[in-house]
Amino acid sequence: MARVTSSGGRLRGVYPGWWVLAACCFLALLPGAIFSYGFPVFYLPIQHDLMLSSTRTSLIFALSRGEAGIGGPLVGWLVDRFDSRPIVMISGLMAGVGLIILSGVDNYWAFLFVYVGLVSVGNNTGFGQTFLAVMNRWFVRRRAVGMTAVITCYTAGGAILVPLLSRGVEALGWRDVMLYSGIFVAVVVVPMSMLIRRSPEAFGISLEEAGEAVTPSSTDGANGEQNTARDYSVKEALKTPTYWFILWGSTFRITVTGGILVHGIPIMVWKGASEQAGADFVAMLFFISIPTRFLIGISGVKLSSRWILTSGMAAGALSLAALTYVEGTMIIYLFVVGIALLEGAATLNWVMVGDIFGRRNFATLTGIISIFYSTGMMLSPLFLGWVFDKTGGYTWSLLILTALYAASACMFAIARPPRAREGETWARN
C-alpha cells in the first residue's frame, strides 16, 4: 500500500485509487464491452439461426434491460454498503458461464431464460453502475477523470471488439464466438476483480491525505456545477427537482441509445449498407467516441456539465433526424459523428450526479434512475422491432426517438444544481 504524507495530500508511491481505476478500466475495456456493445453483432445471426421475427429477437435484449431496472436499486444498495470486489467477481463469473451455456442453446425460450437469468443479471450487477460507484468513492476532486476513464474504456472496447466479433461470427459462426467470449470473461474477471477495493478509507487514507477532498461550497466557480463536500441522503435527493430533471434526462437519453445499440446494424442495413459494413459503421462510432468521451468528459472538470449534456443531446437529435430523412449511406457518416458527440457528453451524466449528491448513496441514487431508464431500454428495442415488422422500415420509430433526444436536452438544460440554502431546507423537511 502506498504511504501518505501529511502535507499537501501528496502520496509517496502510487495512490491505490489508480490501481482500482486500472482494474475497472480493464474489465470495462474487454469483458464489459462484450456485454454493452458486442451483442448487436449477434442480433441478425441469432434471428436467422433461430428463425425469429424482429420483435421476438428484440424481446431477448429488451427483457435484459427490464431486469436491470428491477434489480438496479437493490444492486445500488449492495454496492453502497458492501465491498464491490466480491460483487464484481461473482457477477462476472455468472455472466461468463451464461455465455458458455448460450453457445449450445437451440430453443428460443431456453435462450431467453439463460440470457436474462444469467448473462444479464451478471452483467447488470457486476459492471456498469458498480464501476462508476467505485470511482465515485475513490475520486472526488478528480471524479470526472475517474468516471471518464472507465466510460471511455467501454467505448474503446466496443471499437476493438465489434469488428473482431463480427469477423469471428462470419468465419466461425456466432455459437463458437459466444463460447470463446464466455471462457475469456470467466478467466479474466477473477484476478482483475482482486484489485478492486471499497474506498480509500478502507486503506486508512482520508480524502484530504489523498488530495481528493473538496472545500464545502454551493458551486464550483470553475464550471458552475455543484461539487458538494457533503452527502445527500436518498430522501433529501429525491426531494430536489434537480434529481428528477437528471432522472428524466437520463431516461430519455438511454432509452434512445439502448434501442439504437440493439438495432444499430439492422438500421445500417435498412439505409443500404451490408451487414459487415453496418458492423464497421458501428465500430467507427465507437472509435470516434473514444476521443469525444475522453476530451468532453475531462472538460467537465472546468466546464458546465449541464450545458455540455444539453448540447450533446441536441447534436444527437439533429443527427438522428438527418439519418431518418436523408437517403443513401453517406448520411450514416454524419449520424456517426453526431452520436459520437452525444456519447462524449453523456460521460458527464453520472459525474453530474456524483458532483451534486455526493459519495455515500451514489449507487442507490443511480439505481433508482435505472428503474426508469431500464424500462425505456426494454421498450425501445421492442418498439423498433415492432415498427420494422409492421412497416418494413424504421422511419416512424426513429422520429419518435429523435423527439426523446430533444426532450433529454431540455431536461438537462433545466437541471440547475440546488443552492446551499435549498439543500438545508430539504434536509430539515
pLDDT given for residue 219 in this prediction: 43
Query: Which residue segments constitute the domains of the chain, with CATH numbers given?
Result: 12-428 (1.20.1250.20)
> Could you give the CA distance from residue 145 to residue 191 in angstroms, rounded to a whole number?
24
Q: Can you tell me the distance from the alpha carbon of 96 to that of 102, in angstroms, rounded to the nearest whole number? A: 10
Of 404, 399, 255, nearest to 323 by C-alpha is 399
Do the Cβ atoms of 69 and 371 come closer than 8 Å?
yes
**Do the Cβ atoms of 296 and 328 come closer than 8 Å?**
no
Check residue 299 and give its pLDDT: 82
Q: Over 273-325, what HEC string results?
A: CCHHHHHHHHHHHHHHHHHHHHHHHHHCCCCCHHHHHHHHHHHHHHHHHHHHH
What pLDDT was estimated at residue 43?
A: 80
How many residues would you count in the chain? 429
**pLDDT the model gives residue 330:** 85
DSSP letters along 319-343, please?
A: HHHHHHHS-SSTHHHHHHHHHHHHH
Task: Report the pLDDT value the prediction gives residue 6, as an integer from 0 to 100.
Answer: 39
Q: Which three cell numbers stand for residue 151?
A: 466510460
Distance CA 254, CA 415 (A): 17
C-beta separation of 228 from 353 below 8 A: no
Q: Which amino acid is it at 105?
A: V
Please list, in sequence order, all residues whose beta carbon lies within 8 angstroms of the beta carbon of residue 42, skipping any fewer than 6 positions away: 165, 169, 174, 177, 178
Task: Please tell me the distance from the alpha carbon of residue 356 to that of residue 349, in angstroms, as a whole number.
Answer: 11
Residue 201 is classified by DSSP as G
Q: Give CA–CA dist 120/402, Å, rounded.
A: 27
Per-residue pLDDT at 422? 52
Q: Mean pLDDT for each 10-residue chunk of the chain (429 residues)?
A: 40 75 87 75 85 83 73 77 85 91 91 89 81 85 84 82 85 91 89 84 74 54 51 91 96 92 87 84 83 84 86 94 88 91 89 86 87 86 90 93 96 87 50
105: which 3 cell numbers?
442453446
- Burial of 360: CB neighbours in 10 Å, binned 0-12, 13-18, 19+: middle
CA dist 310 and 316 (Å) reads 10
Amino acid at 117: G
State residue 93's pLDDT score. 92
Cell representation of residue 55: 420483435
User: For position 3, what pLDDT does the model report?
Assistant: 44
Q: Which helix (H) or strand (E) holds 3?
A: strand 3-4
Give dist(CA 321, CA 324) in Å, integer.
5
Q: What is the pLDDT of residue 417?
A: 87
Q: What is the per-residue pLDDT for 148?
A: 87
Contact of 309 with 329, CB cutoff 8 Å: no
